[in-house]
Amino acid sequence: MDAMDKDRDIPERAARPLWTEEPARRHRLPDPVRTAAVRAVIIVAVTLVQAMVAVLSALAGSWLAFPAVLTTVASTVLATWGVLDVWVTRQVWKQRYGVVSRPSSTARELRRQRRRDRKAKPVAAPRAAERGPARGAAA
């Protein structure tokens, strides 16, 4: 009996996949919002790198400190715009596509009930005394 025969009595494991699919916990962001978010993350990352270059070159006394600070200020304004763009894009998407405007079933049922009640009760003409005095009559 060689080494290969010894392993034959060990049951072979079933091949299992490398990963298993799980349902997402949250819905995926809409495409325009995701695009704006990626853009904002890239802009913020570049701004942080520029800020580090500005700080380190200022500490080293390099000539690069002044231009780096100027570009960092400009990038900070741009990063703020990028983050606001994500927020605005998300709000616009929600307003356009996020809300399904239809009456709830309870509201619809109440309207049906009122309609049935109106049809079931014939509306009687009000009596003259309930109407009040006639237009031309003296009080």
Per the CB < 8 A criterion, the answer to whether 68 and 49 are in contact is no
Over its C-alpha atoms, the chain yields an Rg (Å, rounded) of 37
Confidence of residue 139 (pLDDT cuts 50, 70, 90): low
Q: Give the pLDDT score at 60.
A: 96
Q: What angle do CA 18, 20, 21 make, to 5 degrees?
A: 135
For the chain, the residue count is 139
Query: Which whole number is the average pLDDT over 65-94?
Result: 95
Confidence of residue 72 (pLDDT cuts 50, 70, 90): very high
pLDDT in tens, 15-39: 778 888 888 788 888 899 999 999 9
Per-residue pLDDT at 70 exceeds 60: yes
Confidence of residue 45 (pLDDT cuts 50, 70, 90): very high
Give the pair of three-digit tokens for residue 24: 């997402």
The pTM of the full predicted model, rounded to 2 decimals, is 0.55
Q: Give the pLDDT score at 104.
A: 63
Per-residue pLDDT at 126 exceeds 80: no
Please tell me which residue, 36 or 133, carries the higher pLDDT value.
Answer: 36
